[in-house]
Amino acid sequence: TCAEQESFWKLVPRDKFPSLRRCSEAVHSCFGSTYLCESAFSNMKMTKSTECSSITDEHLQDSLRLALTQHSPNFKKLVDEMQAQTSH
């Protein structure tokens, strides 16, 4: 798995095998960046088609950021910190 590979490369001394480490990092970054690029394009295509191209570039960027991030917001904390709005 990816986690096992990452653990393995952490054990390979950078000072003894600098070229091997750089090569490994380059190969891993290619796969990650290709996947992200394809994911972003696919998501952008879907978003643009469902919004009938009326979406602004700024909104599209925000939508892509949300779709591609692995960050998971703490909704409970956000709700707890919200101030209640009273009607006039």
List pLDDT tens digits, range 54-81.
777 777 778 777 777 777 878 888 888 8
In a domain, residue 88? The reply is no
Predicted local confidence at residue 32, as pLDDT = 62
- Residue 23 covered by a domain: yes
Residue 6 has pLDDT above 60, yes or no: yes
Confidence of residue 33 (pLDDT cuts 50, 70, 90): low
Instruction: Count structural domains, the chain.
Output: 1
Is residue 77 a part of any domain in this protein?
no
- Give the structural domain span for 45: 1-10+17-50
- pLDDT at res. 26: 73
Q: Is residue 59 in some structural domain?
A: no
Residue 70: inside a domain, yes or no? no
Does 79 reside within a domain?
no
* Distance (Å, whole) CA 66 – CA 41: 14
The rounded distance, in Å, linking the Cα atoms of 74 and 71 is 10
Residue 83 forms part of a structural domain = no
Could you tell me if residue 61 is inside a domain?
no
